[in-house]
Amino acid sequence: MANTIIGSSIVIDGEISGDEDLVILGTVKGHISLKDTLQVERTGVLEADIESATVTIGGQITGNIQATERVELQADGRMVGDIKAPRILIADGASFKGNIDMDV
C-alpha cells in the first residue's frame, strides 16, 4: 500500500485518522490517530498528540505520543512531550524533553 504524504507546503489544523502509513513533510496541528506508521521527515512540524503503531521522528514534534509498537527519534529529530511505547530508540544528536513510559 502506498504512503499518504502531506507535502512541505501543506498546513493542516484538525484531526487526521486512518488505517494506512502517513509521511509528513509539512505542518500539522491537532490530533493524529493511525493504525500503522507515522513518519515525520526533517521538514515536518507537528503540534499534535499522536496515537499510532510506529512513529519515526526526523522533524519536530510538540505533543504526546502513544505507540503500540515503537517510537524512533532520529538524529535530526526534536521532540517536546511524553512518549508511551514498549520500544523507544533515541539516536545520538536527537533532542528530547519529556517523560518516557515503557510499561505498556
Contact yes or no for 24/40 (Cβ under 8 A): yes
Does position 104 have pLDDT exceeding 70, yes or no?
Answer: no
pTM of the model: 0.94
Element holding 31 (H helix, E strand):
strand 27-34
pLDDT tens digit sequence for 55-78:
999 999 999 999 999 999 999 999
